[in-house]
Amino acid sequence: MPNLPIEAEQFEKIRTKVFADSESAVRELASGIADFIRQRQTENRPAVLGLATGSTPVKLYQELIRLHREEGLSFKNVITFNLDEYYGLAPTHPESYRHFMEVQLFRHVDLPANQVHVPDGLVERDRVFEYCARYEAQIAEAGGIDIQIVGIGRTGHIGFNEPGSTRDSRTRLVALDRLTRRDAARDFRGEANVPAYAITMGIGTILQARQIRLIAWGDSKASILRAAIEGAETGSVPASFLQHHPDCAVYIDQTAANELTRFRTPWKVGPVGWDRQLTRKAVTWLAENRQKPVLRLQDEDYTENALASLLVETGSAYSLNIRIFNELQHTITGWPGGKPNADDSNRPVPAEPPFKRVLIFSPEPLDAEIGMAGTIHRLVSQRHEVTLAYLTSGSLGVPDGEARMAFSLLHELAVSGSGSRIQLDQLAKEIDSKAPFDEDSRDLRQFKGLIRRAEARASSQILRLSLDRVTFLDLPFYEQGRYRQFRWGAQDVDLVTTLMGSRKPHQIYLTGAGADPSSVTGITFHLVAAALQVCRQESWFSNCQIWLYSSNERPWPPHEIDMAVPLSPAELGIKLDCLYHHRSQRSQTPFTETQPGEGWQQAEQINRATAKQYDHLGLAEYEAIESFHRLKNVNAN
């Protein structure tokens, strides 16, 4: 590939290819891998691949399987080495990386079993050192790794090389970082069950591969990718060690790329077309950067910060400041369903009809509450007809301890009166005799789903939602799947389409644009978007606004906010009360980069921070703000 620097990529120290979506990225990567395997076949030589686990490579493996099935790609000459394995897990353990690889790739292709290498998680402690040296020797005996696939963890780790790993580290036993264990908590049903150690190839081992391809999707990876690609080479971001590899390339989707300088502050890398969105982005960025309210920015602030071209196009700082200030001001409304009988020319939501039908989709119980509990409370108080639809039961997120507590409560009830005691007894037996990480039976999963229903109902009541408007769709993709292995289809889309058709909403609220496409949030976003496509021709659709509420993972930055709903201190209190009712979700939420703590603590901090941002931009000072982005083009996502 050519090595000439491209202006837009001047800040990037690793060659980075940005794709519209993960599908197109894996298509290109898999076809390169397939060409290489075939090339080696013609030379009668093996192709040695380094493989990774996690949600990210799943799509790549699906594409390789497709190439095998439909285009005759054979893996007979392929030798594989996996990056890592949890220490203490047997190869048959459902969460072991060995098992993951079997399910996601190995069993679907003609790869000979004796050419597969995944570190053994059960090596005795006193043999680990020797075992790791042997793993390295096997790689060398195979001729070294030709193409190494790596994902990236939110700590910046590659394989399991956590911050602090050195550039020359080799295959070894490592302790896992807290953030990494928290990210894996859902797979293991609770952080406490996540192994504390792993065996991983070292950075030095990875860097010896002839080609390295780093892949990543979704906005949760955006800031660590920026650090790895544009930041200094440092042991605190192990992926940054890839910067000096002679043939490393990063394949990412647009949302994962959003923090790179060429997208975050494109005016710093070259000439840009100043559309409305980019102008707002530049002005809010400048205000934040100069720590000045928008109306106090001066021409010098613009010219000294690479924004002279914006002034050339718009005249002066004075008129530009006023324009952007007004735009921001007009995003603020205490009437998220529109203000009846008011002039709505500068409001985010039309006044008519005065009482709207509103349909809110929540990927799992708690997502909509985190993003918009205060707004739901307002919509209900302002007499709109609000339906809250929970797309999945959320049963996979209920730890056994919570289920146990619920059984004992019901057990007491059953002993004192009627109730189906036998079934409960059976479930209680199952939960106590289950080996760690065994799959839950259907009944147990259903029971866990009921726990989340009960929590969701209780929290909806705090928001004064009428219970007959709280709907549980229990979408089949979730009920039949497990994390990292969900597959959605027409049946899921039909259920959502039917609900939309029956509600004919004036407003739809959803979340998950830009989320990891294999997460529950990412999948539910795509299937609601697919349902919206189906409904495009319906008469209600042209009068329906679609709003995206934010998640803790990615609060809307000011330039992307199209509606800001302020919360009073009392309303924020109601929101928190509502969030506390999802008690099974304690310690279940992944930490976000800047926000440790529980989901509801993160939500409170984010809503307060948005209010502060508005205050600093020179707008009114509120206690907290919930923010929304308007989705104008369903196709765009």
Residues in touch with ligand GLP (CB under 6 A): 52-56, 83-84, 151-153, 159-160, 180
Bridge partners, 447 (sequence order):
none
* Structural tokens at position 392: 């999945």
Left (φ > 0), alpha (ψ -120 to 50) or beta: where does 555 sit? beta
- Minimum CB distance to ligand GLP smaller for 55 or for 77: 55
SS3 463: coil
SS3 332: strand
CA distance 194 to 368: 28
> Which residue among the candidates 12, 162, 364, 598 is catalytic per the annotation?
162
Bridge partners, 362 (sequence order):
390
Shortest separation between residue 145's beta carbon and ligand GLP, angstroms: 15
Q: Which long-range contacts (CB under 8 A, 24 or more apart) does 123-129 make?
A: 123/199, 128/172, 128/173, 128/199, 129/172
- Minimum CB distance to ligand GLP smaller for 81 or for 407: 81
CA distance 414 to 429: 16
Instruction: Please say whether the beta carbons of 179 and 154 come within 8 A.
Output: yes
Bridge partners, 206 (sequence order):
none
- Minimum CB distance to ligand GLP smaller for 152 or for 403: 152
Instruction: Please say whether the beta carbons of 342 and 536 come within 8 A.
Output: no
- 162 counts as catalytic: yes
- Minimum CB distance to ligand GLP smaller for 95 or for 136: 95
Shortest separation between residue 214's beta carbon and ligand GLP, angstroms: 9
- Minimum CB distance to ligand GLP smaller for 151 or for 449: 151
Write down the H helix ranges in 43-152: 58-71, 97-104, 128-141
- Minimum CB distance to ligand GLP smaller for 239 or for 513: 239
SS3 85: strand
- Which residue spans within 125-231 are E strands per DSSP? 147-150, 172-175, 197-200, 211-216
Shortest separation between residue 590's beta carbon and ligand GLP, angstroms: 10
Shortest separation between residue 215's beta carbon and ligand GLP, angstroms: 8
- Minimum CB distance to ligand GLP smaller for 229 or for 500: 229
Shortest separation between residue 85's beta carbon and ligand GLP, angstroms: 9
Contacting residues for 531 by C-beta, under 8 A, at least 6 apart: 493, 496, 497, 500
Shortest separation between residue 249's beta carbon and ligand GLP, angstroms: 16
Shortest separation between residue 43's beta carbon and ligand GLP, angstroms: 30
Nearest residue to 283 via CA among 331, 323, 312: 323
Shortest separation between residue 462's beta carbon and ligand GLP, angstroms: 34
Neighbouring CB atoms inside 10 A of 232's CB total: 10
Nearest residue to 103 via CA among 516, 523, 487, 485: 485
- Minimum CB distance to ligand GLP smaller for 59 or for 377: 59
If you search the block for the tokens 């985190």, which residue do you land on? 370
In order, the DSSP letters of 140-157 are: HHTT--SEEEE---TTS-
Nearest residue to 316 via CA among 328, 330, 329, 303: 303
Active site residues: 162
